[in-house]
Amino acid sequence: MKKTKIVCTIGPSSLQVETLRQMVRAGMNCARINTAYGDYERYRTVVENVREVADIPVMIDLKGPEIRLRTEKETEVNEGNVLEIGFNKEPISFNHNFIDQINIGDLIFIDNGRIRTEVTKKGEKTLGLLVKSAGVIANGNGANIPNKRLMVSTLSQRDLTIIEFAKENEVEILALSFTRSAKDITNLRQASEGFTGTVVAKIENFEGIRNFGEILGASDAIMVARGDLGVEIEPERVPLVQKSLIRRCNQQGKPVVTATEMLESMMHQPNPTRAEVSDVANAILDGTDATMLSGETAVGKYPVESTAMMARIAMETEKATKSIIEDRGFVNISDTVSRSIQSICQDMPLDKVVTITRSGYTARMISRFKIKQQIIAVTPNPMSKKQLELVYGVVPVYYDYRKETDRIYAVANKLHTMELLNLEDTVLFTAAFRTHKKHASNLIEIHQIKEILDTAKKN
């Protein structure tokens, strides 16, 4: 069974119920909505169709301080052209007004750097950009201004409206683009008061890297968004930055998603390049919890095939994954117990690990060690169940065990009924016993499933 989770961006190519059903069968664990494109009718359709086919989370991207272009029609530009872009309702405009912060000579890169321009003219309400590399400008294209710290608001008015949509439709994950500091995450949490799901910080600029420690502490999960990151910093730095960010996420048990251009060629052809296959594999070897497909599944010709290919790469690569966790002394009880579980899993012929968890924290702590055994996380919280869909090697199960006197037996029986445990399996169970403290899973029991079920019947 695949352990690496797959996030698929949903768009015109994958919106239909039957396509989504095939993508879930192929390995999709989370459906993403990119709000740079589409409208609320489409977003609502995505949520409804995903929930019709599977009990998996929906992630909504908020554009936040990300700079994007707005235009009603595509425009082809050639080297030497001067492009006029405004900040309001011009034929082509930016989604944030930063004209007071821009200077003649500044570089502006469009569409992940494919179109490179230089500011040669500055008016009261528009900029004149000299095109240095040709391309096609389309609505929603991202724009990067390297080495420039723009003072733009964390959330736009549209972002605030999308947050309300997410709350009304019980969306499980909000991802903030271009997160610059912990303050951006704090602003998002304040603006989304009442939202109980996961907050993901997308790291895609120099500020996000510089302030990563505080961002990691403030957020629930991280996305390494390499498209814009490779424009904002030197592209040759991206691989080592990716490894560093993933390692730090693993250390704290925070889920991390590696994203952008992973199987880009499969937008137009049924097979990836060898370099793309290696890219996905290396992200998994780095320790990523999840990999993400963007245009490949949103507008590409082969959404199901792209998902299946990513799953195949994952299952082959997972044979070689290893723990990269360093000993950092005592943190809390669950952290310590998870280290003990890793050692037991190495020394004993265990088949599976079952964690009985409220928030999913202990499951995340165990997952980071990349143990070979499957981790089944049983939670009485439906939101926690869906949040765990992003965590490497974890099979989340919703089951309210709280009224059961013998929770180990009740959970074992439930999982056996669901055919997730076999009678011959030897299983390690962990749970919080006689405590209501957070992060305090303090019990480890090891049982053969047949024995624990037979013993309960006799008693």
DSSP string, 403-458: T-SSHHHHHHHHHHHTTSS-TT-EEEEEE--S---TT---EEEEEEHHHHHHHHHH
Amino acid residing at 400: D
Q: List domains and CATH numbers for the chain.
A: 5-65+153-316 (3.20.20.60), 69-144 (2.40.33.10), 333-458 (3.40.1380.20)
Q: List per-residue pLDDT tens for the chain, 459 residues long.
A: 899 999 999 999 999 999 999 999 999 999 999 998 899 999 999 999 999 999 999 999 998 888 889 898 899 999 999 999 998 778 899 988 899 999 999 999 998 889 999 999 998 889 999 999 999 999 888 898 887 778 888 898 999 999 999 999 999 999 999 999 999 999 999 999 999 999 999 999 889 999 999 999 999 999 999 988 888 888 899 999 999 999 999 999 999 999 999 999 999 999 999 999 999 999 999 999 999 999 999 999 999 999 999 999 999 999 999 988 887 777 788 888 999 999 999 999 999 999 999 899 999 999 999 999 999 999 999 999 999 999 999 999 999 998 888 889 999 999 999 999 999 999 999 998 877 777 778 889 999 999 998 876 666
Gap between the Cα atoms of 41 and 22, Å rounded = 23
- DSSP class of residue 152? -
Write out the catalytic residue numbers.
Answer: 32, 68, 202, 260
Q: Give the burial string for 199-220 (b: 16+ CB within 10 Å, else e).
A: bbbbbbbbbbbebbeebbebbb
Q: Which two tokens stand for residue 42?
A: 């489409």
> In Å, how far are 164, 323, 366, 387, 397 from 420, measured between CA atoms?
37, 25, 19, 20, 10
- DSSP class of residue 238? H
pTM: 0.91
Taking alpha carbons only, the member of 114, 72, 95, 46 closest to residue 264 is 114
